[in-house]
Amino acid sequence: MKSGQQFLTSGVTALAPAIWGSVYLVTAEWLPPDRPLLATTVRALPAGLILLAFSRALPSGIWLWRTLAVGALNIGAFNFLMFLAAYRLPGGVAAMIMAVQPMIVLVLGALLFGDKIRFAHVLACVLGAVGVVLVAFKGSAALDFVGVVAALGAAACLAFGISLTKLWGRPDGVGLLPFTGWQLLAGGLVSLPFTLAIEGLPSSITGTNVIGFTYLISLGAVISYVIWFRGIERLPVLTISFLALCSPIVATLLGYAFRDETLSILQVVGILVILAAVVLVQPRPVKPAGVAPNDPPHSDHIKERAR
pLDDT digits (tens, 9 = 90+) for 251-261: 888 888 887 77
* In-domain check, residue 300: no
| Residue 38 · residue 263 · CB < 8 Å | no
| Residue 181 · residue 51 · CB < 8 Å | yes
Confidence of residue 1 (pLDDT cuts 50, 70, 90): low
* In-domain check, residue 184: yes
pLDDT of residue 303 exceeding 60, the answer is: no
Chain-centroid distance of CA 113 in Å reads 20
* In-domain check, residue 136: yes
| Residue 221 · residue 16 · CB < 8 Å | no
> Cβ contacts of residue 128 below 8 Å, gap of 6+?
99, 102, 242, 245, 273, 274, 277, 278
Identify the pLDDT of residue 77: 93
* In-domain check, residue 297: no
Entry pTM: 0.84
* In-domain check, residue 295: no
Region 145-154 average pLDDT = 88
**128 lies in which domain range?**
3-282
pLDDT digits (tens, 9 = 90+) for 115-148: 889 999 999 999 998 988 888 766 555 568 888 8
* In-domain check, residue 292: no
Number of domains the chain is built from: 1
